[in-house]
Amino acid sequence: MTAGGADVTARGADVTAEGADMAATAPVVVRQAPPEPARPRWSRLGGPAAFTATAVLVLVVAPLLLEPFRLGLLAKYLCYAIVALGIGLAWGQGGMLTLGQGVFFGLGGYAMGMYLKLHDAGGDLPDFMVWSGVEKLPALWAPFGNPVFALAMAVVVPVLVALALGTLVFRQRVRGAYFAILTQALAAALVILLVGQQGLTGGTNGLTNFFDIFGNDVAADTTQRGLYLTVAIVLGVLYLGAWQLVRSRFGRLLLAIRDGEDRVRFLGYDPATVKTVTFAMSAGMAGIAGALFVPVVGIISPALLGVVPSLELVVAVAVGGRYALAGAVLGAVVMGYARTYFSEELPDAWLYLQGALFILVMTLAPKGVAGLASGVAAGLRGRLARGRAAA
Amino acid sequence: MGGALNQLPIGLSIGAVLLLIALGLTFTFGQMGVINMAHGEFIMAGAYTAYLLQDVGFPIALPAAFLVAGLMGLALERVAIRHFYGRPLDTLLLTWGVSLVLQQAARDLFGAPNVQVVSPGWLRGSVGVLPYNRLFIMLLAALSVVAIWAYLNRSAPGRRMRAVMQNRGLAATTGIDTGRVDGLTFFIGSGLAGVAGVALTLIGPVGPTLGTYYIVDAFLVVVAGGLGQLKGAVLAAAGLGLLNSYAEFWTNASLAKVIVFVAIIGFLQFRPQGLFVLRSRALT
């Protein structure tokens, strides 16, 4: 196997894996990398095995070993990992750099927070409304007393916002950096809106002081453990869904659009629809993550969903490896831990470290840790193959 | 009515600051495809330069800020960004890392709380509804636009810059040292951000995160005005500044940004590439 082949696998192992059945339908494939030699069996089983091992580690080992406080932190990082999964899908697979995932995360979080607030108030006004002098429950809030409605809205609202933005933007072929700037402006606008509408949103403080979730004390260890398991299972299910999506025809189309949108359009596909749908899916994931985040952490506030938190998640995805879904998830968890560790130990140095790490990753390993790992794996495979050929 | 009239100088001076910031962005974006998130920190560097030099004299602060911010931009371009051409989204994240480092550096050097720059006596007072400090900012922006226009259209390096912007490959084959031109563009663009920083000290306090307030709006100016377009930047900056201040005046500050955002999205439905477009036969 040549060095060139290794490069291709690092970019999208899935593409080359499909090389075999593509060759069957298309007689001549010009300028395509030579199909990868059939991978040994252990390599094909590597993905499912790693997934199962991780699932056991997260679902069984972690709850047994970690004390409640640490388990709560891990639950929080797993919420971020769900957002990162969406970013990996939109940016890594679809080439849409979204700097406003915090918006969708926040919409989901506020939907959940509104339900919890109303539930705790039990028919009265939520505490912060009383403090800001609101006398009657705003009409916007009323339906969120119903948990089913609130949970549905945590996904539906982000998806609708993303569909609207995606339709308006991608139809006009606004893309790349322009799209990134627009999503960032949306994040900035939402923060200012939330801070300004004190009586409706709790202003800078956001929604906090939750006591009860579906009949359980939010702060109790057992509740927190249940929430942790819920988050982990949701992440696993969404991961499998995203993985399946990437392997599907839709996923292949998405990759093609990332690498050559105009060519895809000339072939008769509609890139705008594919991109909009993908963007909406990543927004839905961020919304789910937000809804889970609120009971786990106990607060949702504008500071958690602005420009900086949105960018930090993109950073985490870049560090983990944007072209691999697993890299995105891992990046979010690792960066979350690093953040907690360094802001406890060296609060002043954290920004320097984060900035420096970022510059280094972008300069030396633009494909992130996952890219490095798959590069090493491909190198090893190449060496093995050469060794066999020589023998 | 008097209230509405008062908003006019506020909106125009915000537009003038946005213009000074956006000029640098539009040329680095248009010419090199670089989205420089650290641009906001060059504004901050300019503002802190004015803070350090406030005893020396305000007129000295302007060229000094231009030089400080410009050299920072030049260093960034030569050391890091140069290796990232053709990967705009990567430069965005790279420069964001740089901006984090610069913000923390400012916090360590000058402290986290905001500092106040005392504006010189001759800038206090007003003519009618027009305060001198805001008038000065508008004049500063107007002067910068004229200077940039003259540079682009009447000087040899400016013509080289336009050549690189329109067709980099062709410019290189005619013997233009495109790397040098890129460095110079970055120097001038970042320097203007420094000047914008000095202007901002006249209307508010200076803090380590000063740049982040303006950078998002400045990027919207670039998007609405069209890449690398002087005319577009001027019109879009004035429009956005006015829209911002009037939306705040008629509704409230928290809705204003949303209105501006919706207006930009609506505008892009008619002009997806901004007000003015650099015509080319390339597939965009």
pLDDT interval class at B45 (50, 70, 90): very high
Helix/strand/coil (H/E/C) assignment for every residue in chain A: CCHHHHHHHHHCHHHHHCHHHHHHHCCCCCCCCCCCCCCCHHHHHHHHHHHHHHHHHHHHHHHHHCCHHHHHHHHHHHHHHHHHHHHHHHHHHCCCCCCCHHHHHHHHHHHHHHHHHHHHHCCCCCHHHHHCCCCCCCCCCHHHHCHHHHHHHHHHHHHHHHHHHHHHHHHCCCCCHHHHHHHHHHHHHHHHHHHHCHHHHCHHHCEECCCEECCEECCCHHHHHHHHHHHHHHHHHHHHHHHHHHHCHHHHHHHHHHHHHHHHHHCCCCHHHHHHHHHHHHHHHHHHHHHHHHHHHCEECHHHCCHHHHHHHHHHHHHHCCCCHHHHHHHHHHHHHHHHHHHHHCCCCHHHHHHHHHHHHHHHCCCHHHHHHHHHHHHHHHHHHHHHHHC
Residue A69: the pLDDT is 86
* CB spacing of B216 vs A307 below 8 angstroms: yes
Residue A27 has pLDDT above 70, yes or no: no
Residue A167: the pLDDT is 93
Among chain B residues, the shortest Cα distance to A97 is held by B89
Residue A2 has pLDDT above 70, yes or no: no
Question: Which chain A positions have a beta carbon within 8 Å of B225's beta carbon?
Answer: none
Q: For the ranges A240-244, A259-263, B28-32, B50-54, which has the lowest average pLDDT?
A: B28-32
Name which residue leads in pLDDT, A20 or B92: B92
Residue A81 has pLDDT above 70, yes or no: yes
* CB spacing of A193 vs B97 below 8 angstroms: no
The stretch B115-132 carries a mean pLDDT of 78
Residue B95 has pLDDT above 60, yes or no: yes
The stretch B249-272 carries a mean pLDDT of 84
**Angstroms from A274 CA to nearest CA on chain B:** 19
pLDDT interval class at A390 (50, 70, 90): low
A280-318 pLDDT, tens digit per residue, is 999 999 999 999 999 999 899 998 988 888 988 998 898
Beta carbons of A62 and A47 less than 8 angstroms apart: no
* CB spacing of A189 vs B92 below 8 angstroms: no
Residue A30 has pLDDT above 60, yes or no: no
Residue B212: the pLDDT is 84
Residue A211: the pLDDT is 83
The stretch B21-31 carries a mean pLDDT of 85
Question: Which chain A positions have a beta carbon within 8 Å of B94's beta carbon?
Answer: 358-359, 362-363
Question: Which chain A positions have a beta carbon within 8 Å of B217's beta carbon?
Answer: 185
pLDDT interval class at A40 (50, 70, 90): low
A191-237 pLDDT, tens digit per residue, is 988 888 877 888 888 888 888 788 777 778 888 889 999 999 999 99
How many other β-carbons are positioned within 10 Å of the β-carbon of residue A47? 12
Residue A36 has pLDDT above 60, yes or no: no
On whether any CB of chain B is under 8 Å from the CB of A357, the answer is: yes
B194-219 pLDDT, tens digit per residue, is 999 999 998 888 888 888 888 888 98
In a domain, A45, yes or no: no
pLDDT > 90 in chain A, percent: 36
- DSSP, collapsed to helix, strand or coil, labels residue B115 as strand
B233-257 pLDDT, tens digit per residue, is 999 999 998 998 888 888 777 788 8
Beta carbons of A251 and A14 less than 8 angstroms apart: yes
Question: Which chain B positions have a beta carbon within 8 Å of A366's beta carbon?
Answer: 87, 90
Number of domains in chain A: 1
Name which residue leads in pLDDT, A296 or B3: A296
> Which span out of A251-260, B77-86, B260-269 was modeled with the highest average pLDDT?
A251-260
Interface of B with A (CB under 8 A): 29, 33, 35, 80, 83-84, 87-90, 92-94, 96-101, 103-104, 108, 212, 216-217, 219-220, 222-223, 252-258, 260-261, 264-265, 268-269, 272, 283-284
Residue A285: the pLDDT is 96
* CB spacing of A196 vs B255 below 8 angstroms: yes
Which of B100, B216, B257 faces A184 most closely, judged by CB atoms? Answer: B216
The stretch A341-356 carries a mean pLDDT of 80
Which of A180, A318, A355 faces B98 most closely, judged by CB atoms? Answer: A355
Which of B88, B212, B260 faces A177 most closely, judged by CB atoms? Answer: B88
* CB spacing of B97 vs A311 below 8 angstroms: no
**How many CB contacts within 8 angstroms connect chain A with chain B?**
120
Residue A178: the pLDDT is 85
* CB spacing of A181 vs B261 below 8 angstroms: no
On whether any CB of chain B is under 8 Å from the CB of A363, the answer is: yes
Question: Which chain A positions have a beta carbon within 8 Å of B96's beta carbon?
Answer: 311, 315, 358
* CB spacing of B84 vs A184 below 8 angstroms: no
> What rounded mean pLDDT belongs to chain A?
82
* CB spacing of B94 vs A358 below 8 angstroms: yes
Residue A24: the pLDDT is 41
On whether any CB of chain B is under 8 Å from the CB of A169, the answer is: yes
In a domain, A138, yes or no: yes
**Angstroms from B228 CA to nearest CA on chain A:** 14
Name which residue leads in pLDDT, A241 or B252: A241
Which of B94, B102, B209, B275 should we substitute to test contact with A (largest number of A Cβ atoms within 10 Å)? B94
Tell me the β-bridge partners of A207.
Answer: A300
pLDDT interval class at A254 (50, 70, 90): very high
Place of tokens 């460095």: B183
Beta carbons of A328 and A367 less than 8 angstroms apart: no
Residue B133 has pLDDT above 90, yes or no: no
In a domain, A137, yes or no: yes
Residue A90: the pLDDT is 94
In a domain, A183, yes or no: yes
Which of A180, A189, A356 faces B92 most closely, judged by CB atoms? Answer: A180
Residue A28: the pLDDT is 45
pLDDT interval class at A391 (50, 70, 90): low
* CB spacing of B258 vs A189 below 8 angstroms: yes
Name which residue leads in pLDDT, B18 or B127: B18
* CB spacing of A362 vs B92 below 8 angstroms: no
In a domain, A235, yes or no: yes
- The residue segments making up the domain with residue A246 are 50-315
Residue A42: the pLDDT is 54
Residue A370 has pLDDT above 60, yes or no: yes
A149-203 pLDDT, tens digit per residue, is 999 999 999 999 999 999 999 988 887 788 988 998 899 889 988 888 877 888 8
Residue A14: the pLDDT is 41
Residue B90 has pLDDT above 90, yes or no: no
* CB spacing of A185 vs B261 below 8 angstroms: yes
